[in-house]
Amino acid sequence: MQQLDLPDRIITHFDQALRTLFGHARGSGRKNPGANHPHPDLSAGEARHAAGLMRVNHAGEVAAQALYEGGGLTAHQPAVRQLMQQAAREEGDHLIWCRQRLRQLDSHTSYLDPLWYAGSLAIGSIAGAAGDRWSLGFVVETEHQVMAHLDSHLQRLPRKDRGSHAILRQMREDESRHATAAHHAGGAKLPWPVRKTMHLVSRIMTGTAYWL
Query: Closest CB to Fe ion among 47 and 190?
Result: 190
Query: Closest CB to Fe ion among 64 and 96?
Result: 64
**Cβ neighbours for 74, distance < 8 A, ≥ 6 positions apart:** 124, 125, 126, 128, 129, 135
Q: What one-letter code names the amino acid at 60?
A: G
The answer to whether 56 and 209 have CB atoms below 8 angstroms apart is yes
Smallest distance, Fe ion to C-beta of residue 143, A: 5
**Cβ neighbours for 80, distance < 8 A, ≥ 6 positions apart:** 71, 132, 135, 136, 185
Q: Give yes or no for residue 91 binding Fe ion (CB under 5 A).
A: yes
Helices (H) and strands (E) in the chain, counts: 7, 0
Query: Closest CB to Fe ion among 65 and 125?
Result: 65
Smallest distance, Fe ion to C-beta of residue 64, A: 5
Q: What one-letter code names the amino acid at 81?
A: R
Q: Give yes or no for residue 93 binding Fe ion (CB under 5 A).
A: no
Among residue numbers 127 through 166, which ones bind Fe ion (CB under 5 A)? none
Does the CA dihedral 38-44-46-49 come out positive or negative?
Answer: positive
Smallest distance, Fe ion to C-beta of residue 68, A: 8
Pick the stretch among 13-21, 69-77, 93-101, 114-122 that binds Fe ion (CB under 5 A): 93-101
Among 175, 182, 202, 209, binds Fe ion (CB under 5 A): 175
Q: Give yes or no for residue 178 binding Fe ion (CB under 5 A).
A: yes
Among 9, 94, 99, 149, binds Fe ion (CB under 5 A): 94
Got the DSSP string for 42-65?
A: --HHHHHHHHHHHHHHHHHHHHHH
Question: Using CB under 5 A as the criterion, what x/- string covers residues 61-90 for binding Fe ion?
Answer: x--x--------------------------
Smallest distance, Fe ion to C-beta of residue 91, A: 4
Smallest distance, Fe ion to C-beta of residue 1, A: 19
Query: Closest CB to Fe ion among 59 and 105?
Result: 59
Query: Closest CB to Fe ion among 141 and 175?
Result: 175
- Rg over alpha carbons for the chain, rounded to the nearest Å, is 16
Q: What one-letter code names the amino acid at 74?
A: T
Count of residues near Fe ion by CB under 5 A: 6
Region class of 158: left (phi > 0), else alpha (psi between -120 and 50), else beta: beta
- Residue among 163, 159, 182 nearest 102 (CA): 163
Kindly list the residues in this chain that would bind Fe ion in the complex (CB under 5 A). Answer: 61, 64, 91, 94, 175, 178
